[in-house]
Amino acid sequence: DAGITQSPRHKVTETGTPVTLRCHQTENHRYMYWYRQDPGHGLRLIHYSYGVKDTDKGEVSDGYSVSRSKTEDFLLTLESATSSQTSVYFCAISETRLAGGFDEQFFGPGTRLTVL
């Protein structure tokens, strides 16, 4: 299994509080991704990183920010959590671009976030 850990694994917080989720990898992969999973929506990309300090928005980035100061860590921050951000959050990593190779994304175990 790819070395990907997420912390915390479960979190309950209140509306309006800041929350930071951490993804840590030991694979030295270049690309990292944050998804949220909601019933009926599958997985939707929030933000991704294509290198240290290089990040970009996905399809559902409003209300989220990210940072990547080291290859191994990718942080997802909810500046002011809302109930609509209650979800399961997954981190993923990949090494090569698909166009240049056949790599797939490897997923972490997920973080279940509840915003009351």
Partner 1 sequence: AQSVTQLGSHVSVSEGALVLLRCNYSSSVPPYLFWYVQYPNQGLQLLLKYTSAATLVKGINGFEAEFKKSETSFHLTKPSAHMSDAAEYFCAVSALSYNTDKLIFGTGTRLQVFP
Q: Where are the beta strands (DSSP E) in 15-116?
A: 19-25, 31-38, 42-51, 54-57, 64-70, 73-78, 87-94, 106-107, 111-115
For residues 28 and 50, which CB has a smaller minimum distance to partner 1 in the complex? 50
Amino acid letter, residue 22: R
- Report the amino acid identity of residue 3: G
- Contacting positions for partner 1 (CB under 8 A): 4, 31, 33, 40-45, 48, 50, 54, 56, 58, 90, 92, 94, 97-99, 102, 104-110
Question: Nearer to partner 1 by C-beta: 39 or 62?
Answer: 39
Neighbours of 78 (CB within 10 A): 19
Quote the least distance from Cβ 11 to partner 1, whole Å.
15
The smaller minimum CB distance to partner 1, of residues 31 and 64, is found at 31
